[in-house]
Amino acid sequence: MNGWLIADMMLLLSIVPCALVALRGHRVDDFLPSLQRAGIVAFFALMVWAQATHRPSSFALSLCVSLLAYPGAVLFAQAMERWLR
């Protein structure tokens, strides 16, 4: 196990507080920033994982996550807002 994988595990552990805030939020203003932060952390975790495993083709996956994180968070927030009403 190298330092990249240890850093990747730490990044993945930092998604847990984001998930807790997103699950406990009652308004869009509560959980949308945590969802966006989780998307950013997932992007960096995938970048570090691609570097740790020496697979340059895996960088494409992290770029796809970075492009889809914001629209996914907004769509999830709209669905949750309708459900919470």
Kindly report the three-state secondary structure assignment for every residue of 52-71. Answer: HHCCHHHHHHHHHHHHHHHH
In contact, 70 and 78? CB cutoff 8 Å: no
pTM, to two decimals? 0.74
pLDDT attached to residue 63: 85
pLDDT attached to residue 6: 93
pLDDT attached to residue 85: 60
Which residues of the chain carry a pLDDT beneath 70?
28, 83-85
Residues in the chain: 85
pLDDT attached to residue 55: 87
In contact, 4 and 52? CB cutoff 8 Å: yes
pLDDT attached to residue 84: 61
- Rounded to an integer, what distance in angstroms lies between the CA atom of residue 48 and that of residue 44? 6
